[in-house]
């Protein structure tokens, strides 16, 4: 049976009158919790610029301002500013030679394996007869390298002092940063940006390690790097450095 409030004499009251807002003004409902997935906290340890190991303080003279500077100098070899300037250029040049050397050791072997060319492996290069004897080539190489390295040393000591060609006076290099000569040495006109310098040094350091690895591989196996790679891929569980050393 339905009952009407007016028929039984009850006053008609709205919900606002029964529960006035001033009575509930001090009540704050709890916030609704999301039904979504609650993200979990994570801790990330990351080396800052100038830190080769997170949390390990870097030397004061390696403040991250140099390209590729991660504060790695455990022996303190670069504490002297003059030595540091020389080491920067030495690493840059050796990185470039290492990249050329690794490419010269790896690419001819790959191209020979796939039948494009037919040349000896890098460790047999000294046994090949060239247009001159090995002693003659050594003398020529020594003279050329001596000239180039002396000029490079002069540029490090006095930047810009060797931009003018001493023989052909009409040839000169534009003003440049030491180690980045530009001009004919930069035919594609790449800009020596900070990012480019970082990448060059990173690849150069990797190439120096790769060059050392190629030497160790050959002394252990008597084979080139590409042949070693193919042998490893043919049986990855048994053709490894561990099995090679245990023989």
Q: What's the confidence (pLDDT) of residue 8?
A: 47
Kindly tell me if the per-residue pLDDT of 207 is higher than 70: yes
Domains of the chain with CATH codes: 81-246 (1.10.3460.10)
207 or 160: which carries more pLDDT confidence? 207
Q: Is residue 149 marked as binding?
A: no
Kindly tell me if the per-residue pLDDT of 14 is higher than 80: no
Kindly tell me if the per-residue pLDDT of 117 is higher than 60: yes
Beta-carbon neighbour count of residue 113 at 10 Å?
13
CB 208 within 8 A of CB 94: yes
**pLDDT tens digits for range 139-182:** 999 999 999 999 999 999 999 888 888 888 888 888 888 999 88
Q: Is residue 164 marked as binding?
A: no
pTM of the full structure: 0.73
Lowest mean pLDDT segment, chosen from 76-90, 166-180, 198-212, 216-230:
166-180
| 125 confidence band (pLDDT: 50, 70, 90) | confident
Q: Is residue 203 marked as binding?
A: yes
Q: What's the confidence (pLDDT) of residue 23?
A: 47
Q: What's the confidence (pLDDT) of residue 216?
A: 92
Q: Is residue 232 marked as binding?
A: yes
Q: Is residue 141 marked as binding?
A: no
Of 200, 215, 216, 2, nearest to 91 by C-alpha is 200
Average pLDDT, the chain: 82
Sequence-separated contacts (24+) of 203-206 with Cβ below 8 Å: 203/95, 203/99, 204/91, 204/92, 204/94, 204/95, 204/96, 204/98, 204/99, 205/68, 205/91, 205/95
Q: Is residue 12 marked as binding?
A: no
Q: What's the confidence (pLDDT) of residue 39?
A: 54
CA 57 to chain centre: 21
Kindly tell me if the per-residue pLDDT of 6 is higher than 70: no
30 or 91: which carries more pLDDT confidence? 91
Q: Is residue 200 marked as binding?
A: yes
Q: What's the confidence (pLDDT) of residue 1?
A: 45
Kindly tell me if the per-residue pLDDT of 86 is higher than 50: yes
CB 42 within 8 A of CB 28: no
CB 33 within 8 A of CB 10: no
| 127 confidence band (pLDDT: 50, 70, 90) | confident
Give the separation between CA 122 and CA 214, rounded to whole angstroms.
Answer: 10
**pLDDT tens digits for range 26-68:** 555 555 655 555 556 555 555 455 577 787 888 889 988 899 9
Q: Is residue 205 marked as binding?
A: yes
């Amino acid at each position: 049976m339905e009952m009407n409030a007016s028929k039984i004499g009850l006053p008609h009251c709205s919900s606002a009158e029964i529960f006035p807002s001033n009575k509930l003004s001090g009540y704050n409902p709890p916030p609704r919790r999301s039904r979504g997935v609650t993200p979990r906290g994570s801790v990330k340890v990351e080396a800052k610029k100038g830190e080769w190991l997170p949390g390990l303080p870097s030397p004061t003279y390696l403040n991250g301002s140099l390209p590729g500077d991660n504060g790695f100098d455990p022996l303190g070899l670069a504490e002297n500013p003059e030595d540091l300037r020389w080491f920067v250029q030495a690493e840059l040049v050796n990185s470039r030679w290492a990249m050329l050397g690794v490419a010269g050791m790896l690419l001819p072997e790959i191209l020979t394996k796939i039948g494009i060319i037919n040349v000896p492996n890098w460790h047999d290069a000294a046994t090949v007869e060239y247009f001159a004897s090995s002693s003659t080539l050594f003398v020529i190489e020594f003279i050329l390298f001596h000239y180039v390295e002396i000029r490079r040393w002069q540029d490090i000591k006095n930047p810009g002092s060797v931009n003018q060609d001493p023989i052909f006076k009409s040839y000169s290099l534009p003003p440049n940063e030491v180690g980045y000569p530009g001009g004919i040495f930069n035919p594609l006109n790449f800009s020596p940006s900070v990012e480019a310098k970082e990448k060059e040094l990173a690849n150069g350091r990797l190439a120096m390690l790769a060059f050392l690895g190629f030497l160790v591989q050959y002394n252990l196996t008597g084979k080139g790097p590409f042949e070693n790679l193919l042998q490893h891929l043919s049986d990855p569980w048994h053709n490894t450095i561990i099995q090679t050393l245990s023989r």
